[in-house]
Amino acid sequence: MQKNFWTEETISTLLRKHGLRVTAPRIAICKQLLAQHCHYSAQQLHEELAPLHPTMSPNTVYLTLNQLAAIGLIRSFNIDGNTIFDSNTATHDHAHCRNCNTLVDLPSNSEMPPVNMGEWALEWGTRLWSGLCPDCKQSANTTSAS
């Protein structure tokens, strides 16, 4: 995806293609999400948009994100009970720090599961690696070594 691909125009076209109306909240949400590859919870996204769109309700953000996920424009997965939306729809894995909650993409070494699952119609998958990020790992070492 080349830089600046997600202009207001390309987003509008895409929304209409999927039968969704072009509204200010949707444009704002798509811009924020698609402009960069990033991870958002609905709440985080709502907080970031609040200054620019003070009347936008959390409800709208939740609904819109689920719609975007339904049409495959973004992906969603779950960490510790929180739904995370990911604008990177390519197959890839994630590393999550159980201490500071940092979440980063991993280059995928994924392959589809073996053929004995051929009867399933698998659509998407992500692996979530859980552990400690470099910073928290170091803190843990320092603390325990005291």
Binding site residues, DNA, CB under 7 A: 16, 19-26, 41-43, 53, 55-60, 62-64, 66, 81-83
The option from its own copies, DNA, none interacting with 66 (CB < 5 to 8 A, set by class) reads DNA
Shortest Cβ distance from residue 98 to DNA (Å)? 12
Task: Tell me which of DNA, its own copies, none is bound by residue 69, counting a contact when its beta carbon lies within the kind-specific cut-off of 5 to 8 angstroms.
Answer: none
Q: Which amino acid does the sequence have at 127?
A: R
Q: Which of residues 26 and 94 has its CB atom nearest to DNA in the complex?
A: 26
CB environment 97-128: b (16+ within 10 A), e (fewer): beeeeebebeeeeeeeeeeeeeeeeeeeebee
Task: Match 């995806």 to its residue by tokens.
Answer: 1
Of 50, 64, 56, the residue nearest 15 (C-alpha): 64
Residues near its own copies, by CB under 8 A: 77-81, 83, 93, 95, 97-98, 106-107, 109-111, 113-114, 116-117, 119-134, 137
